[in-house]
Structure 1
């Protein structure tokens, strides 16, 4: 018995002494880069460099990131994607949700303990800025991972889409884009470059961490003539599962074990293929299929992958819903609380294309939601104080929450939940010959009385793709008090408002969270209030008369096509009237030989048309509480 106690004490002491503090000092500023060799542009760098540094810690470490915003003209923040932030949701990073935006010249310290393992990433979560380069991998090493003895070395591989224009220069939310068509990237990168190689030895097993750090496009991934074993998705270890092709949406991560061939005769293409179903327009010069190499022999040929120009319709990837977690966590019991929302794309009165969950397009409050929790005492359990347009849901501690996400849109949406992973218990349409095929006919919503059997050990991850015109159902336990976003991780869709806010155990948040004074100082510097309800009212928390509101709905009867026709008809009409006015006001020129008049110089007038467009979004099922 004494020996057992001694061993336990030594084990505990060893685990405590092994943990350390890992500190990064980030000066965020502009640098220039040309990752695809096609266009040099300004990108967001750190400490004068781009690509950005990979953050690496061990499980149990304390991570401290001292960030200074040296951009000069832009706000910023950092979201540590996939970090649960237990008792530290104030370190989660989304502006106006858990913190104020960090203005130029301000500093902000992120400080939290990493009690989890696996493959993650970090990115800006302010003003939709991470397509400008502000994103990179975050790796949490685990000395106790069950597959540690199965590999010799590891690689981290990021894939991403790339734009040559600044986000702010892309006309997306605009009268000129009433259908909400997403901007098509200019190229696709692997490890922030193209035509690169991973140097490997023969007959050796490698752990390869794959992360899609893009803003929009999902990509297929495979290595010619190789298979591999999936051992992790989004920080959750899985039973080792053989596969040869993956579909990786933005924000998703996989870890795979790959054993090389016992030969150095040739090199093999690492192939990434953009999912062209997501793209409205594909220009002839856009390279959807890209080749990098698994390099066995630097002197051997580096051949391009042989495939059609657009092979995405022919690729059959592994179905992630079938993966079994290594811990064999069982299906959670029937939910205590259910959230039922539907994705709808539509237009509002200004003519812009927006995204909705039910009839709400997320609109940021005047006070960050977490700070409303911290300053509202017992009223924190009242969802109304968080505003009508943050789409708030107050969760009770330790409730089993079921979230039903229906899709009335013809596009897919990778939804991410902050602060949690979740069990994926159902998805339609079922896996078919092409990943996430469109459902024929009308959208199919989840029917609680008619569905396939839920798995005994559901796959878990923090980002899962909602299929076109289908649905998915997830469950998680509300055991992490904090303010958490649930949103589509296509950055353009987040800009359109495809998000909602979960306020989990708000009275527990007040007891457990400590907001550093520096964070409130950042608010003051940015001119953002940090007490009161969503309208910044500190006297009557139920008075939301000054809250930020979404744009008013359209009158009934308009369609997106109608908006386009009306906008350009109005523009043409205004231009025509301008020409007539200029012509009428021009003085005639008199000739000695004959009397003639000629119009004056042409003048164009760019007047914005009165916006109108498609059908007003309809209410879908609201959140319901069960017992």
Structure 2
């Protein structure tokens, strides 16, 4: 009797789909349901995938990009073929892709539509959950997509259907919410449009008709897998993260105020999946033949850019050479139009800006730069960056030769959404904090600023986020639903531990239904230097009533002392309160209860605080984390969704 052994070789031919940078509705506005079918699978950067042939590596030979057809067989890749390559910054890296796309396909739906996503996990071992960042999930907290919190991960080979209502209107995004998968491809834009698109008001005047609306997904980019970088950070190997065998160690970089910028060295960034690595941070990239993300405009027309920061840890300053930016919306919520030279966007935030194409027909750089200014040793450095191109119709295809605006005493620059209060005097640059933006009349009509008539209707919560050695996880909840927590010491209630010093536990704060909840977010500890970082609240959009910055040297712009408004009772400030007890009960001076901006993600300044307000009116269980693809430890879970 013969034993017959069959070997089956499966060649999985797949195709990469180029990213659609224009805002294109996924469904007709009259359809009650907008349905999507997603398959999540692996893809690799710098590889040409097509349905007609096996994948082909893309290499640089003779100063051009070529497909590798065999060991010693190459041919030039065409521009059409290059559109089906995830080039990133030119290195090879395995990613997670949705329907062959990185970033994932944009979801563009209308307010009130039921959104249905049929998801198939085609990965080998990784589980998946998807969070719909900005969706309040009113009545559907189990669709919030936080793995082990709102539902179990979708295991390899399994399928799951997400179903939720598209609200509120605005620019939002989605991303994996398990491990660090979102930083390796699982993220994309989520845009909710008003059904009546004829009314485009901005609180004071109608917005112009846009010739086009563009999507811009930004991400800082590591050539190593994010899970590897994450573990090396947890192991305390950050000083060696240029390369574990590199004789030069990484020296922490800081902003102009002296606050830390990143836990690891900045390597590169991408715009809609396209980027470069810049040698010595000059304007000359190491692989200049890689494509730049290019946005086409016509002279004397208006364009709306819906910008999403899907990155790991670095904030970006966005500017368009020779063009002012007009901020009209933050985190999907309209604000009265505010002009500036540039705007800063932090991880998880979204900002909508309007550009008026009023310059001579040419090509102009779009600059996406980090806030790095120097090292902790005082050595000045150029910021990290990624560049895009604003190209006028009929302009050549040559790269821009433009320069950024020069800020001087006669032409000061204005920057919106700084994580600090001021720049050094020598920069001739003025900061406008996000709290100074004003909500439009329509925004306030949809979600008024929560106020209260009696102390019984008010609750105040202090939460300290920082990067010290403390490891406290906060849970705020009301009408608590069942959670799917991991087991072990990590979820020990802080009530059962002594947190006078460093500790690891879960701090549970119960929010009472219907109350006005004022949340004071802090960023204070005994670390040698501070690091600002963004915080995202699931299930709610909050009003930003006040930002309390630390004290600065007005000449150098550096932090000299933490904000004195907060009294810390421990080195890590685990039990903070107001230094002036008269501020308790909502009596904080300087808060804006008239027209504050509405957001769901906020950058908490180092050594400072932010005052937010919500109304506890959305029952369920959701998350309140630091927005960093590489840091899960200091996270906050908020059961107010």
Tell me the TM-score range normalised by the shorter chain.
0.5 to 0.7
Residue 521 of structure 1: aligned partner: none
The range that moved more, 31-40 or 464-473, is: 31-40
1:404-483 alignment, distance < 5 Å = 404-409=520-525, 410-429=530-549, 438-442=558-562, 444-446=564-566, 447=578, 449=582, 452-455=589-592, 456-483=594-621
Matches within 5 A, 1:158-557: 158-170=217-229, 171-177=232-238, 182-194=263-275, 195-261=292-358, 263-264=360-361, 266-276=362-372, 288-296=384-392, 297-299=394-396, 301-304=398-401, 306=403, 314=427, 316=430, 318-327=432-441, 329=444, 331-333=449-451, 336-347=458-469, 356=471, 360-361=472-473, 370-372=481-483, 389-409=505-525, 410-429=530-549, 438-442=558-562, 444-446=564-566, 447=578, 449=582, 452-455=589-592, 456-493=594-631, 495=632, 497-504=633-640
Other-structure match for 1:95: 147
* Among candidates 201, 205, 214, match of residue 155 of structure 1: 214
Give the Cα separation in 2 of the matches to 1:280 and 1:76: 38
Q: Which residue of 2 is the match for residue 536 of structure 1?
A: none
CA contact (8 A) 1:439 1:470 kept: no
In structure 2, C-alpha distance between the alignment counterparts of 1:101 and 1:286, rounded to whole Å: 41
Aligned position for 1:40: 92
Query: Which SS does the other structure have where 2:227 is aligned?
Result: helix
Query: What's 2:283 paired with?
Result: none
Q: Distance in 2 between matches of 1:23 and 1:159?
A: 26
Do the aligned partners of 1:407 and 1:468 also contact (CA within 8 Å) in 2?
Answer: yes
Say if 1:162 and 1:436 are closer, same or farther in 2 by CA, change over 3 A.
farther
Instruction: Report which of the two has the higher share of strand.
Output: 2
Q: Aligned residue for 1:533?
A: none
Per-residue CA distance 1:371-414 (angstroms, 9 max, x = gap): 3499xxxxxxx9999xx944333222221111111211501011
CA distance in 2, matches of 1:123, 1:436: 38
Deviation at 1:150, TM superposition (A): 3.1
Contact kept, 8 Å, 1:317 with 1:435, in 2: the verdict is no
* Mapped partners of 1:400, 1:435: distance in 2: 40
C-alpha displacement at 1:20, in angstroms? 2.4
3-state SS of 1:90 partner: helix
CA separation of 1:373 and 1:119: change in aligned 2, threshold 3 A:
same
| Alpha-carbon distance in structure 1 between the residues aligned to 2:110 and 2:376 | 42
Q: Deviations over 1:262-286 (max 9, x none)?
A: 642x222111111216987999999
Report SS of the residue matched to 1:482: coil
Judge conservation of contact 2:315–2:347 (CA < 8 Å) in 1. yes
1:128 equivalent to 2:209? Answer no
**C-alpha offsets along residues 19-66 of structure 1, whole Å, 9 cap, x if unaligned?**
421111111111001434431110011123333211111112111111
The 3 A distance-change label for structure 1 pair 432 and 394 is same
- CA distance, structure 1, for counterparts of residue 238 and residue 531 of structure 2: 17
> What stretches of structure 1 move > 6 A for 4+ residues in a row?
178-181, 278-287, 382-385, 430-436
Question: Residue 426 of structure 1: CA displacement?
Answer: 1.2
SS in structure 1 at match of 2:435: helix
1:232 offset after TM fit, Å?
A: 0.9
Q: What is the CA-CA distance between 1:471 and the residue it aligns to?
A: 0.8
Report the equivalent of 2:42.
30
| TM-score (structure 2 length as normaliser) | 0.65
Q: Secondary structure at the match of 1:169?
A: helix
Q: 1:306-362 deviations in whole A, cap 9, x for unaligned?
A: 469xx9974655432111111263543256111112234333xxxxxxx54xxx246
Corresponding position of 1:513? none
Q: Which runs of 5+ in 2 are unaligned?
A: 1-27, 47-86, 240-251, 253-259, 276-291, 406-412, 414-422, 486-492, 497-503, 567-577
Decide whether aligned partners of structure 1 residues 430 and 301 sit closer, same or farther in structure 2, where only a CA change above 3 A counts. farther
2:108 aligns with 56
Q: Give me the whole-angstrom Cα distance separating, in 2, the residues matched to 1:87 and 1:104.
A: 28
Count residues in correspondence.
462
In structure 2, distance between residues paired with 1:426 and 1:284: 32
Aligned 1:599-614 pairs, distance under 5 A: none
Please name the residue that 2:170 is paired with. 118
Q: CA RMSD in A?
A: 3.6
Is this contact kept in 1: 2:152–2:484, CA < 8 A?
no
Greater mean deviation of Cα atoms: 127-136 or 215-224: 127-136
Q: Does the Cα contact within 8 Å between 1:99 and 1:370 map onto a contact in 2?
A: no
Change (3 A) 1:430 1:117: farther
CA distance in 2, matches of 1:433, 1:47: 51
**Residues 429, 471 of structure 1: 8 Å contact kept:** yes
Contact 1:316–1:434 (8 Å) recurs in 2:
no
The Cα of 1:442 is off from its aligned counterpart by: 4.2
SS of the counterpart of 1:480?
coil
Cα distance, 1:17 vs. partner?
8.3
| TM-score, normalised by the number of residues in structure 1 | 0.67
Aligned residue for 1:568?
Answer: none
> Does the 8 Å CA contact 1:383/1:393 hold for their aligned counterparts?
no
Query: Which residue number in structure 2 is paired with residue 20 of structure 1?
Result: 32
Higher relative contact order (CA 8 A, sep 6+): 1
SS of 1:426's equivalent in the other structure is strand
Structure with more of its chain in helix, by fraction: 1
Partner of 2:129: 77
**Structure 1 unaligned blocks of 5 or more:** 1-15, 348-354, 364-368, 375-381, 506-627
Quick one: structure 1 residues 37 and 331, their matched pair in 2 at CA, closer, same or farther if it must change by over 3 Å?
A: closer
Give the Cα–Cα distance (whole angstroms) in 2 for the partners of residues 249 and 437 of structure 1.
20
Using the alignment, how far apart are the partners of 1:485 and 1:436 within structure 2?
A: 38
- Cα–Cα, structure 1 residues 145 and 130, in superposed 2: closer, same or farther, change >3 Å? same
Contact between 2:553 and 2:559, CA under 8 Å: does it hold in 1?
no
**Equivalence for 1:107:** 159
Q: What secondary structure does 1:207 align onto?
A: strand
Farther off after superposition, 283-292 or 139-148: 283-292
